Structure 1
Amino acid sequence: MPDSVLSARAATTVGRPVIDRLPTASTISGKIMNLFIVGSELPARVPIAVLRRDVTALVNACLALTARMLTGGDTAEPLAEVRADIMEWAHQGVTIGAMHKAVWVGAQAVFDHLTARARLDDDHLAVIETAHMFVHLSRELSMAISQAYLREMRVAGSDAADAVAAALIAGKATPAMARACGVRLAESYFVFAVEFMPPRSAGEPRPDRHILAHRTIRRVRAEVLHLCDDKALMQMGTDTATLLIPQDHFDPAAAERFVEQIAGAAQTQVRAAFVAAGAGGISEGVERAHAVLDIMRRLRRVGLERFDDLSLEYQLSRPGTAGRHLAALLDPLEDHPVLLETLTAHLATRSTRLRTARALHVHPNTVDYRLNKIAEITGLDPTQPDGVWRLRSALVARMTGAGEKELAAGGDPDQTAQAC
C-alpha cells in the first residue's frame, strides 16, 4: 500500500482523525440520486424506493472501502460489494461514463466533507495526505467499475451457453450443436445442484422480491463465470440452479470454498450438492444431485454435501420394501408431533443436545425428556449410536415417502418439507 495511504491513517483535521469525520450515506446519496433522476429514464424502469436503496447501498459500500483504506484494513469485501452494486447499474442500462461520473461526484463530496473545516496552517499536510489516499481510492473504484461492466457483458452474452446447458441436461446435446453455440463440450463434468434459501427478513413487497431474486441470479451467474474462467454452463431458476463445470477446470477439494463464494454472491445461505458425470450422463447426474439436495432440505442441512456423504440417505429415498419398513418405525410418533419435530431437529444438529435445545428454543432438560419419550415409544434410543442410525434412516425414508404422497395428491413438496 502506498506510503501516502499509510500516512492518511494518522492524519487529523481540526484536531480530529480523518477517519472520524466520514459523512453518513444520506449526506452523499442525494447528490447521486439527482444524477440518475434528472434527465434519466431509470425511474420509469426502476421503482424510486428501489433506486434510492440501490444508491444508498453503493454509497455505503464506497464509504466502507474508504474507511478500510484509512485504517489499513482488508479492502477485498467492500470492493466485491462495490462491484456487485455497479454490475446492477450496468444491467439497468447506466453507461460506464455515467457510472464513473456518479462515483466521482460521490468521492468529491466525501473529500469536500472531510476537508471542509481544515485550517490552512495547521492541517495542510493532512489534506495533502488525504488527497493522496483519494487518488488511490479513485484508482480502485475505476478498476471496480471496469470489472463490473466486463462481468455484466459476460452474463449478457451467455444465452448460447445456456442453450447448451439445457440440451446437456435433457440428454440432447451433440458436439456439433455445442460448437454452433461457441461451446466445446468437456468429457466429464461436476454437476452442482444449488438452492438459494430465502433471507430470514423476507418481508418485501412481491415486486421487490422479484427484483431481488433476479439480481441474485445475475450475481451468482457472474461469480460462477468469474471463478470458472467462463467454462461453466448453467441453468438458473428463481430458487435453484444447476451448474455444469468441466472437471479439468475445477478442483473438487475446493468445492466448499466455491459454494461459500456462491453464497457470498447470492447474499444468502445456500445448500448445494455435487456429483461427477460424463458428458453422456449429465441427465442422470442432475437427477442424483437434485435428489441429494432434496434430502438436505428435508434434513434441514445447509452448505455443501457430496453425493458420497449422503449416498445411504439417497438409497433409502428410492422406492422399495426396505424404505417402507424403515419409515414404519416412526409410525408410533404419528400422534406425537412435538416428539417428531424434536427428533428431526436432533438429527439435523448431529445429535447434539445443546444445539437441539437452541434450535427448538427450549431448555436442554426438555430435550432430554423428549428424547427419553422417543426411546420409550419407538424402542429406539436417539442418544445411542445404533438408535441414531436407525432413527435417521427411518426419518429419511419417512420424509421421502411423505413427499411422494404429497406429490401424488398434487401438493407442494417444499411445503411438506417445511412442515416436517
Structure 2
Amino acid sequence: MAKSHGAAGQLAKALGIVLGTDGIPLRLRAWDGSEAGPEDAPLVEFTSRRALRRILWQPGQLGLSRAYVAGEIDPHGDIFAAFAALSSAGKFAEPGPFSTPTAREVATLVRTAVGLGALGPQPAPPPEEIRIEKHGRRHSKKRDAAAISHHYDVGNDFYALVLGPSMVYSCAVFDSPDTSLESAQEAKLDLVCRKLGLQPGMRVLDVGCGWGSFALHAAQRYGVDVVGVTLSTEQADLARKRAADAGLAGQVDIRVQDYRDVTDGPFDAISSIGMSEHVGRAQLGRYVSQLFGLLRPGGRLLNHAISWNAGPTEDDPDSFIPRYVFPDGEMLSLSESMVALEAGGFEVLDVEALRPHYALTLRAWVRNLEQNWDEAVRLTSPGRARVWRLYMAASAIGFENGLTGVNQVLLQRPGRGAGLGSGMPEVPLRRTGWV
C-alpha cells in the first residue's frame, strides 16, 4: 500500500495553487510512492522532482505540459478521465490564458520545492517544443511553411498509425457512435463532394490537401480534376504516390505551394477542410479574397474549420498548443469567420455544426495511437507520441464540453458560370439535396 504521508501531500497543495482550487480533482502519486487526493479520482503519477521544478518555473498549462511530454507526469488508466477531471477544475475550467499566481502563492510554491528537494535551474524544454518566432514574421510564407512542417512532417507512417487507412486528418461524420472511423471519414468526404455539387469535368481546388484523400475521392467518385496544395513535402510525396497507385495521376495534381501563390484559376469548386485554422486572424481577409478570386462565378466553397465557442479569443503563446502542436494556429469564432466570408463577397448557402463528431473522431485517433504505442514511439520519439496523445485527448474533452466546435460553411460566389456549357449546378432547395 502506498504511503499516506510524504511528498504527495505537499505536491497536491502545490498543484492546487497552480490550478487555483482548494482541492485537486486527481489522485497524486509522488516519486517516493506516497499518495494524496481523492481515492476514487483518476491517478496521476509524478515520477520525478523535475516535474515540480517545471511547474515552479512555468506555473500553468505550459509547465504541466512540459512535464508530461518529458515523461515526468504519467496518467494511469483512462487518460480521458484524467483530462476531464482537470478540465473541470479551477483555471482549466476558465477560457483563456492561465492567470499568474500571486506573490504569496509563488512564495509557497518555492518553499514547497525547497522542502521536496526540487528547487533548481529551469529545465530545458523537451526537444519536441518549437519557438516558431525564430522563423520570421508571423504568417509570412517562410514562417507558415515552418509551422506546417513542424506539425505535419512527423512521418507519414506515424500518421498512418493514428489516422488509419483513410489518412484523413479532420473531423469525420458518424451515423452513430458505433460507426467505424473509416466509414465515417468516407461519409465526410462524400458529403463535401455533394455539398460542392461536383460533376464530371469540373476543376476543383483542394486547399490544404493533406495526404490527398479528398482529392482522390473526388476524382475517383465524381470524375473531377483536382489541384491539391499543401506546404508539407511529406504529405505531397505520399499524396502523389497514392494518386499514381490509383491510376489518377492525370486527374490529381498535388503541389507544395502556399495557397497565396495559386494563380491558375478559375476553379469550379474549392474545398478547404481543416486548413483555415492555420491562416490566422490577420490574414483572414486575404484568404477569403484569394479563394473568391480563384472561384468561377456560381462556384461553391466549402470551408470546414474548428471554431472557438468560449467567448472572445486570446492568443497565448505560452500554452501547449502553439508550442507543441499548431504553431501560429488561431481558432476563430464562427461569427468572425462568417463576417469575413460575407465581407469578401460570398453568399452563405448552409452552415452545419459537427461538434460531437469531432469528439468521436479524436477518441478514435487516441485509440489507434494507444493500440500502436510502441510502434508510434519507434517511428518518432516518446515525447512526440505523448504530445499527440495529450493534444488529441484534451481536444476531445474540449469538443465534448462545448469549448470548441467545428463547422462546415457552404458558400457560393454570386453569378452563374458557363464553364460546363449548361452552367454551374443549381443549389438544391433543401438540404436533402446533399444530405
Which TM-score tier does this pair reach, normalised by the shorter chain? under 0.3
Q: TM-score, normalised by structure 2?
A: 0.23
Greater Cα radius of gyration, structure 1 or 2? 1
Q: TM-score, normalised by structure 1?
A: 0.23
- Bigger relative contact order (CA 8 A; separation at least 6): 2
More strand, by proportion? 2
